[in-house]
Structure 1
Amino acid sequence: MAVQGKKGSNQFLSSTTSLASDEDLQVYCQPCDEEGTRLPAHGFCTDCKEHLCKTCLTVHKKLKSTKHHTVLDATIMPKVLQQPSTSIYTSQSDDLTTPCCKHPQEIIKFYCNDHKNLLCSVCVTLEHPATICKVDYIPDTSGNIIDSKEYQVVLKALNTTFDQYQQMEEDVKEMTAKSNRSLKGALEDIKKFRKEINQRLDELERQVVHVVKVTEQENNSNITAVETANEEVTNTLKISSEKIKQLNTSKQANTLFMELKRAEKMMEDVKKTAPQLSSYDVKEHHFKENETLLTKLKTEKSLGILTHKPLHKECQPVQIKSRQSSYEGKICVQTSKDKNTCWITGMTLLTPDLLIITDYFDNAVKMVDTRIKSVSDQIQLDDRPWDITRVTSTELAVTLPNKQKIQFTSISSNKLKKRHTVKVDGECSGISCFQGKLVVSFENPAKVQILDMNGTILTAIDGKNIFKCPDYVTCNRSYIYVSDCDMKTVTRLNWQGDVIGSYSRMSRPKGISLSDDGTVFGCDWYGEKLRRDTGALLPENRLGESKRNSKLCCWIKQRIN
């Protein structure tokens, strides 16, 4: 007579592939099964190589000898019962010895396909549950990684990128040498021209020579930075390449799998930094004489100008299945740390997936991950922030109007950190950065200033008769754009501060941004509808204010004539 819940253990363990019924397709608790009781498994101990029921799991986690074992829950445990003598986890887990960076006591054994991260069991449980992420157990997926197509692609990409960075360094050296030679030629022309005029030109000569010297110092400083960055990247690429080849030769599938994934992620980071190095703006300089200077010496204020033409060379970094990101819709950015209703007054896109916003009422800067549609980190500031701009790939600048300061922040390991502050001479509001220069608008008094990174004023633009409330600014190589909600205009200036044009068809313009083709995007405070002929959704760069304070709103596209 058969007893419910009982079954001979020999019959159960005799096969893992030829089961007799739907009941046998389940995985059962091995300790209980050996005692004659069949209960469904609810977890798997990777140390003991056994499936466990709820009761055994509870006991397993309490016993002193087993409470530190790694236990997989039912969502990610092996779905086929394996006998210990032939367990795939014994044969394929020998080289799983790399500790987790977040949980050093745990070993990396999993890979999240959604976030492209290598994980330990604690990471899977706390941050990458199976209900949200697609997580693979590495021994289950690494069997075919040796000499695989992925191995060939990543290794080839590493070698190609290494070669490209070496070539880029040579190109930059060549361009810089030519630029410095042209600067020396310009100095000779300056001295030759200087002989034709009197001692009144001494001061003017020193000014233009200073420009040359500063430019040469910038060139030398930039090439040093490029060499340092290139050496770091090429060394990392070379080490990774050698390690991958070694692991492949020694047939360490799991470690090779992890190293390849690290290499893929490293290649994505390298790909983001390559354009910054390859777009190094090197120019050839010549001195252009002021032919009217001799007759107008007493009224002229310039010995001449240093002209230049770019010596730019493009370097196209290797592409490894680059991920193009786009997002349309609403993301709630209110968090449990907030004490007030969220009010977004500024934003900038740091990467295709990371949006950085300023929350005025909560004195916070927040990092929004558009992939998971939530705030991934935030920091509290000393006062209410207004606008934000990207300075480098990891550094940001935030305006604090009430404090009359610019707060610099940075991002490291996906965490926001406060850095230093710079004092300014007014209630700063809008801010934009281009080629190491900050363009800042001020509401009180109404004006615009161009600053260096230390807060030194390079150009001051008086707002009298131009601005009343210049809330936001944006800029590119040619122009600076300023939105003024009280004047109801978006004004275009050149970098010398001259007004070139304006647009006045918005009821109250706020946030503005520029696309690569020079199109200006503006957010109308009172405009809740997109215009039929000019409407566009812009899921990137800067956002003005939104009437729906805790949501990201869309943009209204306008062209400045």
Structure 2
Amino acid sequence: MASKFDSSIQRGCSPCEEDGLNTEAQHFCNLCTKYYCDICVTKHNGLYKRHTVLDRKDVKKWAAAPGTVDVLERCERHPGEALKLVCGDHDQLCCHVCVSIDHRHCSSIQHIPDVAKGIRKDPGFRQLPQQVAVLRKQIEDMKNDRKKNSSSLRKTRTAIVDEIQAIRKKINDILDKMEKTTVQELDRLVADQEMSIKKDMESCTQMHDELKNIIDDIQSKDSSGEPPLYIGFKKCEEKIKQAKEILQNMSSVVKYDLTFGKHNGIEDNLSSMKTFGELNESNVFGAQPRSSLFPRDHVFATEGYMEYNVKMSSDRYDGYIEGICELPGGEVVITDGLNKKVKLLDQEYRVVDHCDVPEYPYDVCHIGGNEVALCVDEHRHNNDDRHELHFINITKGKLVTTRKLSFSHKCYGAAHHGNNLYISSLTALYVYTMTGKQEKKLYEDKTGGDTVKRFAISNDGKTIYITIHSNSQLITLDNLGNKLATFTDPDLLGPHGVHVTTAGHVFVCCYYSHTVLQVDKDGKTKLATLAGGQDGVHYPQALFFSSRASSLVVAGEKGTLLVLNVR
């Protein structure tokens, strides 16, 4: 049986293996207890001229070389070396190579045998078995919990699929009923028209035969004298008159026909829905928004801020940021009103793309996936007003406008929830379908010019927060438009942007007081004034809570983004 060090057996070069390479060893050093290829042995020999190196012809002598280092005492960075020293400066175990490379300037290098004396009596050492046992138990419990969680997820998936299929069946039943009703109506109309055609044909046949019979009678009386001919003449005139009336009445219907005009709303509404419903993750650290890591009643505090310049070289003005929203990947979309641009920012708030818009852009909201909707509004003196919502997809880092909706009223604020669009007109809040059909006017206040400035909708869609800029108020509505609360505060002067996180935290930025506030979920009480002019807040217009980090992003007249770190 061949020895494991036989020349027919390949061994890997030790330095190459450390670099992730697989090179056959041709040499072995007795002192280093390492294997070397032809290239690495040259470097070794240059450093260690007195080491004895054996090549392949002495491969049998490799077995006589010192054994490998025990696993426990082996240096993880230099597997061929034993841990002999400890660096007190870094509290780190070291081999001789570690010391020569990384700890040459350290002042507290000791031999392990010196510091290991009395280790058996050390309380920490004595408690190790118990600590490890407890930790292993926790790890095993976590593993079992995750196993149960995985099983639960599969069951949840099955239940959701069953619900989706049930929805699909209901839709199919509705469509089947619609088809049946439409076909029944079609059959009724066809039957009615066929009956009319049959009556027309019978009238024609009857009149045709009557005219033939009377003319035949007249011609047969030609030798009977004038009185019978006169009678026949008068009767024939009457039949001709009747025949003409019948033909005239029939000619008013040139052709019996049917047409079909489909309801476009059916296809439009279905095509606007990407899924049967919304899927939301919960209790998954790293997958859920960071805001949900804080309890709903958590009161935030700020701890510093950073300011980011988002001006482009092509911008004519410093900028006036009216709207902000965040994409699932952490990219940010902002609207620059003065420069009439929509800008796409990366996670470091650097502009990576932009697109021009025809008129002044206001609010922007996230629709789903990488799609956003942008409010574009302009009043012109020639009555050619523009009140539009532009839909933009972000594809491979590029902003692409896909479609737009037009409204008869102003379009300053927008939000998306469920399958509906919510649009504010400064004095009213409307609800639309995704195809632009107005469902209802949810709320209206004509007591001022900016009574429905901006708004935010809670994650469950049951609560709506509206900033009344002109009256310095924040009002809270239910999803039927009923007013639940009215909030005022000395720091709430000219409220503009409002944002509610997925966990239900409510934030408001105020234009005239230069403040950012946190308000309770009921919209009745100020929980905190998070930032003011001393923190760089200057005429703020919009804000949002970043889902990838604990930070509030605020923007306004300065044309920069102020990122407030919160805890």
Common fold: TM-score over 0.5: no
| TM-score, with structure 2 as normaliser | 0.44
Q: Greater Rg, structure 1 or structure 2?
A: 2
| TM-score, with structure 1 as normaliser | 0.44
Higher RCO (CA 8 Å, separation ≥ 6 residues): 2
